[in-house]
Amino acid sequence: MSTFGQRIQGALLLDNGIYEEVEADHTATGQAMVIVVVSSLASGIGVHASDGALSVTQGVIGALLGWALWAGLTYFIGTRLLPTPATSSSWGEMLRTTGFAAAPGLFRALSFLPILGLLIYFVVSVWMLVTFVVAVRQALDYTSTWRAVGVCLTGWLVNLFLGVLLVPFAR
């Protein structure tokens, strides 16, 4: 069993074994939540620090809700719409793996840096997308990375569509 720090490092390095480990460890849900919270705090520090504590707090709450919804949507798409014969997963497994996939977001705290900040934010966002695909592939027991990409893309499009529908109600 890896330590929390080793799990974060493994998630950052796209270590399939670490994603399998956290998928199977029911006690790792709290660790995944910590990563999501700290990652969103890092983003708040790097991007929204000048907006004040309320903005950062709203960002953390939004990140936790977004994580739970995104994991649920991804779970549904991966197990109901695009499963393979070997697909076996639960919402908890998806929560744990995708929570650890947020680990690169810890580096968003550096987004406040002049000139480099935007580049750092972009690189970290791409890195998080890649870790999310690996997390989904492992959680859904896919052998194909492309199938995991398809699930992530489908979920992103559904999220985008729902966001567009809900924008008029947010005002």
Longest dimension (CA), the chain: 50
Q: Which residues make Cβ contacts (< 8 Å) with residue 137, sequence separation at least 6? A: 144, 145, 147, 148
Tokens of 18: 């670490």
pLDDT-derived band at 12, boundaries 50, 70, 90: very high
Mean pLDDT score, 78-89 = 94
Amino acid 53: pLDDT: 66
pLDDT by residue (tens digit) across 30-55? Answer: 999 999 989 988 877 776 655 666 66
pLDDT at 78 (0 to 100): 96
For residue 140, pLDDT over 80 is answered with: yes
Q: Which residue has the higher pLDDT, 14 or 108?
A: 14
Whether 71 contacts 149, CB under 8 Å: no
Q: Are 67 and 135 in contact (CB under 8 A)?
A: no
pTM, to two decimals: 0.88
Q: Give the span between the Cα atoms of 28 and 19, in whole angstroms.
A: 11
* Euclidean distance between CA atoms 42 and 56, whole angstroms: 9
Tokens of 110: 């550096």
> Tokens in use for 19?
């994603």
**Using CA atoms, how far apart are residues 62 and 56, in angstroms rounded to an integer?**
10
